[in-house]
Structure 1
Amino acid sequence: MVKLHSVRKRHFITCIFVLLILIITLVIAGAETKELQNKRTDIITIDLLNVPGSEAMHGVTFLHDRHIEILTKQEDCSTCHLKNKDSFIFKFKRKENSTLEIDMEIYHKNCISCHIEKKAEKIKAGPVTEECRACHNSQIKTDSSWKAIDFDRSLHYTHEQSKIIPSKNGTNCQACHHVFNEKSKTIYYKKGEEESCIYCHTLESTKDVTSIKEASHNACVNCHESLKIEKKTGGPTNCKGCHSTIEQEKIKTLTKIPRLKRNQPDHVLITGYNDNTKLSQKLINSSMNPVAFNHKFHETSVKSCKSCHHESLKGCRDCHTVGGDTKGDFISLESAMHNRETEHSCVSCHNQRKNEKQCAGCHSKIPEKEFSNMTCTQCHEVDKSQITINSLKDMDKMVKLADKTANTRLKSYNEISKKIPEKVVIASLSNEYKPVNFPHLKVFNQLKINSEKSRLAKSFHKNDKTLCMGCHHNSPSSLTPVKCQSCHNKQGKHGSKKPDLKAAYHGQCISCHNKMNIKTPVGTDCISCHEKIKK
């Protein structure tokens, strides 16, 4: 009887414990859901009196999409925004900013009258005249989930191929792209000089040029709204349609994208002396070998032209000269190409690719080389003997030389798989577990397949032996690398930065599986690699 009572007591305690866990889980889930609901993409702060130290009322937190949901049942953007010709001006009830008093009066008069009107129609609306602090409230806590939209190659081509965007002379580029006439202060389209919006429309507005935020909304939202009025399927006109993570994930990503037409070359010969006024054959012979740059391929492997051309579509050397120039913020050509700290340099971009799962398994364990220890000839491989002062003036000849050099990098690997063991038995730590039968050749061949698929890997992995260095990370490139025990002993050396043999094996294997997202076996599944010894 006592035993039965004890069992019931334990059962009761278990039920209480499970119930508490369930309640806590539901509370946390509810809090997360509430937090998600409180986050919005449409938060606009209206603060005409944004003067540091002033005693004015707090700015108004305005939820744009909430107003759209109510107003667009009957009205369009013209309820709040005036038009200039056929385009809306996205300022509230005015075409341009005026004095503080006049702009404040515009907001108060129109907002409050609209609230009163909607309430009379039994529609839920905002505060009215006597409720100033309901709008001007510093305690309103609404977190933003706004995310900038990436107008990448796929989204650009979606617009480029659109049949509903008006075209002229077989192209609709003029719908978005324009250049600015400094004298007349007007914009016009010039074919062949299309550039990214951000090159001119920067984060902050200037006297003559609007900010990228204002320019994007003026162009994009107006276009979308005009198509909506014409009952055509266009883009979104609310904030979340572009700036919500969920909505962005719904945008179709195109894979087959034709090359952008901007008079760009297929291949470029990058030198540091083409524009040197004191160019001589002696200078050519004493300079670093040029780089054969495959421009056409790089266009397909980056999100957009801005990945490299971060200020304009001019050639790198136009701003980044050998010695540095004001046009390039005194960043020399060498630094622009080799700096690891910027996302726009060649070396930095290549290093970022090492973090991709098919590369990270090996490269995460290979020590980063000092720049002085890198092999320059992997990129600087153009034969200087074929370059003269006269040949530099022959653009076609230089393009062909760059083309020929770039294509020689993509040779297939030498066949060495027959020279390496199919399996390796790792038995040096056998105690509680049986030795590991490591599928050496299978792993090697998979790394080879991954490398064969990557032009970047094929360009830099000069032969199959390079793949061995993924595991044998501090060994010279060789078919007979030193064993792990040569550097990592079983007990570990006191004060040494090197892990002991057990830690080295597990750190290498498990981190590789995790980095490359290998599901079978998972890093924590011990017996998939070494079966436990039955005693």
Structure 2
Amino acid sequence: MRISRALTANWMVVVVIACLAVLGCSDKDKPILGPSTIVLRLSPQWGALDRPAVDFDHAKHTDALGPKSCVSCHTQDSAGVMKYAWAATAASAKEAMNTFHDGCLNCHQDRASKKQKTGPVACGSCHAHAPGTSQEQAHLRFDQSLHHRHEKAEDGKCETCHHVWDKAQGKFLPKKGEESACADCHGAKDEGRVLSLQHASHDRCVQCHLQREEKQQPTGPTLCVGCHDAESIAAIKRVDPVPRLMRGQPNHTWIHADGATAAYVPFDHAQHEAATSRCSSCHHKTMRACKDCHTLTPTSEGGYVSLERAYHEPSSTFSCVGCHKKETQRPGCVGCHQTIPGEPREASCTTCHAGPTTKAMKADLPEPTLATANLEDLPPTSAAFPATLRLEYFPGGDYGPADLPHKRIVEHLDREVRKDKMATRFHGTMETLCAGCHHHSPVGVQPPKCVSCHPADADLSRDRPGLKVALHRQCILCHQPMGIKAGCVDCHAENKEQKP
């Protein structure tokens, strides 16, 4: 009997898969919700739903209800502040459910009695959220450009948005110089008086926009698409360049931690501000210095990430190394950098750790600055720096030898490096460019020919590819991410004598 049931189950799986294949079901066939649709569910703390969730089209409701659409659904407190979260204070599943049903059904029935355009009243007409449904909803990034526009609109009054809870006075108060990112206090869910980031941003932002709209002042979006539609976000006017936002930060500073053995790092804070779109690119949620949370020994406050890893972790976009590595994925850089290990080489340490090694030595130095990096000119064509190289190690094949435009390749890489201050600093000398292809040769030493390390016939006892594989892997894997043609005849002429 057990065998019979198992076979039956297996056949059912096969039949379902076959039906899906015949019907052509795929991710493309799954329903996609627009940016104005809100999926209404009860809190997970009350268990599984008896019916599917509700796909609530916010845009349809605002269009149908007109200028007073907000107050038709959302309540206001005594101060006139609108509350956007529905059923947020419900003590049970039944209370939350009744809140939705009373609000929605009463409105639908009232409009129907007045012969107005209205919504459904049958359970299944609303509770129709399909499994596997996805949503095309972008998320607005509050970057430096957008921050400046708000700062200008509010005449520099930071307290319009930034506040901290004062226990003594029992209210929110501004604290100059302690402004932080919203996410520093507002998390993923409501906790007592502290709203979730989602509820706080909708309460504060939408309310302010509506108030400015009523006063006929320039304002921001009040509908979902304004902040959650990719095209609408792209159309927002940008400030360029963005005036520097001052919050007591230095122009330049020394990066070092007591007990660390590496040399001080002269850090240009102002330059990094201009290179990033928002402060949280480095500072996470708070505006505190890295060493305030990340210490030499990992602690819970720093997420168990040590200060050394906070600066050097290549997989993190918050770290110095990780952010710099992200820049190497640009088309002009990725060809060489994709084969370089994630961890920086020791030779590059002094590029950043270029300051004094002790606090006493630092005391005698002026404000920390990095010396201007200048690249030397490329050398003239010579036997050591040839214009072209003929690669003809495999006679008698379908294709002839390849003429490698050696000098032209180096000149192209040199131009890409000179376009960027960071690339100029880290490459330093021309020999660094050579290391992109001559990957295991010491910098500053004339590299040997490829065949010196990669024999024509691969030696299986050595952990090195044969010459043909090494050349094609090095060239093609560089060409492809840089958008350079990498077909056989793009480098080789066909050897027609070998064709039948």
The normalised TM-score by structure 1 is 0.78
Supply the distance in 2 between the matched residues of 1:80 and 1:105 (Cα, whole angstroms).
14
Q: Give matches, 1:185-264, under 5 Å.
A: 185-264=170-249
Supply the distance in 1 between the matched residues of 2:49 and 2:423 (Cα, whole angstroms).
61
Pick which of 105-114 and 467-476 moved more. Answer: 105-114
Q: Does residue 74 of structure 2 align to residue 81 of structure 1? A: yes
Pick which of 201-210 and 139-148 moved more. Answer: 139-148
Structure 2 counterpart of 1:388 = 360
Pick which of 294-303 and 244-253 moved more. Answer: 244-253
Structure 2 counterpart of 1:298 = 272
Q: Does residue 171 of structure 2 align to residue 177 of structure 1? A: no
Deviations 1:65-86 (A, max 9, x none): 23223222x5331111122324
Structure 2 counterpart of 1:379 = 352
Q: Does residue 373 of structure 2 align to residue 411 of structure 1? A: yes
| TM-aligned CA distance change 1:377 to 1:106, over 3 Å | closer
Deviations 1:387-418 (A, max 9, x none): 429x65xxxx76x3412xx1x2x321122431
Deviations 1:214-268 (A, max 9, x none): 1111122112222333444532222232122333333344441121111111111
Cα shift at 1:363: 0.9
RMSD: 3.2
- Give secondary structure in 1 for the equivalent of 2:254: strand
Deviations 1:33-83 (A, max 9, x none): 8757x32223434344644556755543323223223222x5331111122
| TM-aligned CA distance change 1:298 to 1:139, over 3 Å | closer
| TM-aligned CA distance change 1:120 to 1:220, over 3 Å | same
| TM-aligned CA distance change 1:498 to 1:241, over 3 Å | farther
Structure 2 counterpart of 1:357 = 331
Supply the distance in 1 between the matched residues of 2:341 and 2:418 (Cα, whole angstroms).
23
Q: Does residue 401 of structure 2 align to residue 424 of structure 1? A: no
- Give secondary structure in 1 for the equivalent of 2:85: strand
Q: Please tell me whether the aligned partners of residues 366 and 474 of structure 1 are also in contact (alpha carbons under 8 angstroms).
A: no
Cα shift at 1:309: 0.9
Supply the distance in 2 between the matched residues of 1:268 and 1:90 (Cα, whole angstroms).
44
Q: Give matches, 1:78-477, under 5 Å.
A: 78-84=71-77, 85-92=79-86, 97=90, 103-120=96-113, 122-128=115-121, 131-137=122-128, 139=130, 142-161=133-152, 165-167=153-155, 171-273=156-258, 287-325=261-299, 327-368=301-342, 373=346, 375-384=348-357, 387-388=359-360, 392=363, 400-403=366-369, 406=370, 408=371, 410-418=372-380, 420-431=385-396, 432-477=398-443
Q: Please tell me whether the aligned partners of residues 185 and 208 of structure 1 are also in contact (alpha carbons under 8 angstroms).
A: no
Q: Please tell me whether the aligned partners of residues 180 and 285 of structure 2 are also in contact (alpha carbons under 8 angstroms).
A: no
- Give secondary structure in 1 for the equivalent of 2:437: coil
Supply the distance in 1 between the matched residues of 2:386 and 2:202 (Cα, whole angstroms).
62
Supply the distance in 2 between the matched residues of 1:173 and 1:369 (Cα, whole angstroms).
40
Supply the distance in 1 between the matched residues of 2:230 and 2:279 (Cα, whole angstroms).
23
Q: Please tell me whether the aligned partners of residues 457 and 466 of structure 2 are also in contact (alpha carbons under 8 angstroms).
A: yes
The aligned amino acid for 1:471 is C
| TM-aligned CA distance change 1:362 to 1:215, over 3 Å | same
Cα shift at 1:138: 6.0
| TM-aligned CA distance change 1:505 to 1:115, over 3 Å | same
The aligned amino acid for 2:401 is P
Structure 2 counterpart of 1:60 = 54
- Give secondary structure in 2 for the equivalent of 1:77: helix
The aligned amino acid for 1:379 is C
- Give secondary structure in 1 for the equivalent of 2:493: coil
Q: Please tell me whether the aligned partners of residues 40 and 55 of structure 2 are also in contact (alpha carbons under 8 angstroms).
A: yes
Cα shift at 1:424: 1.9
Deviations 1:93-137 (A, max 9, x none): x89546665554443233112212333455553222xx2333345
Deviations 1:509-530 (A, max 9, x none): 2222222234xxx222x33322
Identity value in percent = 31
Supply the distance in 2 between the matched residues of 1:504 and 1:200 (Cα, whole angstroms).
53
The aligned amino acid for 1:421 is P
Supply the distance in 2 between the matched residues of 1:534 and 1:332 (Cα, whole angstroms).
62
| TM-aligned CA distance change 1:104 to 1:288, over 3 Å | closer
- Give secondary structure in 1 for the equivalent of 2:492: coil
5+ residue gaps, structure 1:
1-26, 274-282
The aligned amino acid for 1:75 is K
Structure 1 counterpart of 2:486 = 523
The aligned amino acid for 1:388 is A
5+ residue gaps, structure 2:
1-22
Q: Please tell me whether the aligned partners of residues 423 and 439 of structure 1 are also in contact (alpha carbons under 8 angstroms).
A: yes
- Give secondary structure in 2 for the equivalent of 1:151: coil
Cα shift at 1:465: 0.7
